[in-house]
Amino acid sequence: MAQPTIIFYDIPSSLDPQPWSPNTWRTRYALNYKGLAYQTVWVEYPDIEEVCKKIGAAPTRTVAPLYTLPVIHDTSTGVVLSDGPAIAEYLDKQYPDTPNLFPSGTVALQYGFIAAHADAITSLFVFALPKTNSILNPRSEEYFRRTREQIYGKKMDELTPVGDARVAEWGKYRDGLGKIDGWIKKSGGPFVMGDTISFADVTIASFLVWLKIVFGEDSQEWKDIASWHDGRWDALIKAFAKYQH
């Protein structure tokens, strides 16, 4: 493998290995799938804005600017880019000899699919955010807790519903994945486009691996997910294991 020319900015954790974020997994999986050499730079949450401004990475939300990771800096071209899908599009164009994540003609369909995916899995966050909070390093933990409690108007340890409400909300997540399972079945699977991995799969896998990491593979939550939809999600994460580093 060539010397790393891509610097990849990711958010650390107290785990070993450190990667956990579903957003940055989209870029990590993309880089590994393409076999591109890169070097990870770990940035704690409170430092993201300063780092982005310093290297010239655009905010991903422009009204009340919000700086987020993933960001890459491709030192061979000078390009600095934020936002997982945009980074994958860039890697496809800049490195056309690597496996394509947006097969010809599918880019708009992929964007629509990932919007539908995001809509289908919204119930997941009240489960995943407190677990995520617990695996962050102290400086990020304080930032993450404060900003998420602001968004949800709830204390972090009150975010996950309990009792019947928990069952109902977890069921909504299962049904959301069920909708996506129904679509994938139409293609024949195992991937969204059939035999070929595309950015839609990278997105699905990134949110699943997040859960597997923060809950742990022996958790009831992961066991549930692994049992749903004829084991589709467990199989997907296993198919992505070779890009999970």
Binding site for a second copy (CB under 8 A): 89, 103, 105-117, 119-120, 179-180, 182-184, 186-187, 192-194, 196, 198, 200
Q: Which is nearer to a second copy, 194 or 231 (CB)?
A: 194
Q: Which is nearer to a second copy, 19 or 176 (CB)?
A: 176
Q: Which is nearer to a second copy, 136 or 177 (CB)?
A: 177
Q: Letter for the amino acid at 63? A: V
Please report how close the Cβ of residue 168 comes to a second copy at its closest, in angstroms.
16
Q: Which is nearer to a second copy, 193 or 213 (CB)?
A: 193
Please report how close the Cβ of residue 30 comes to a second copy at its closest, in angstroms.
16
Please report how close the Cβ of residue 156 comes to a second copy at its closest, in angstroms.
29
Cβ neighbours of residue 241 under 8 Å, at least 6 residues apart?
Answer: none
Q: Which is nearer to a second copy, 119 or 230 (CB)?
A: 119
Please report how close the Cβ of residue 203 comes to a second copy at its closest, in angstroms.
10
Please report how close the Cβ of residue 180 comes to a second copy at its closest, in angstroms.
8
User: If you ran DSSP here, which 8-state letter would residue 154 be given?
Assistant: S
Please report how close the Cβ of residue 83 comes to a second copy at its closest, in angstroms.
13
Give the strands of the sheet with 71-74, arranged side by side: 38-42, 6-10, 71-74, 79-82
Tell me the Cα Rg of the chain: 18
Tokens coding 109: 């369909």
Q: For strands 71-74 and 6-10, give the pairing.
A: antiparallel
- Rounded to whole angstroms, the Cα distance separating 204 from 190 reads 12
Q: Letter for the amino acid at 212? A: K
Three-class SS of residue 73?
strand
- Rounded to whole angstroms, the Cα distance separating 241 from 74 reads 25
Q: Which is nearer to a second copy, 44 or 89 (CB)?
A: 89
Of 85, 68, 80, the closest CA to residue 29 belongs to 85
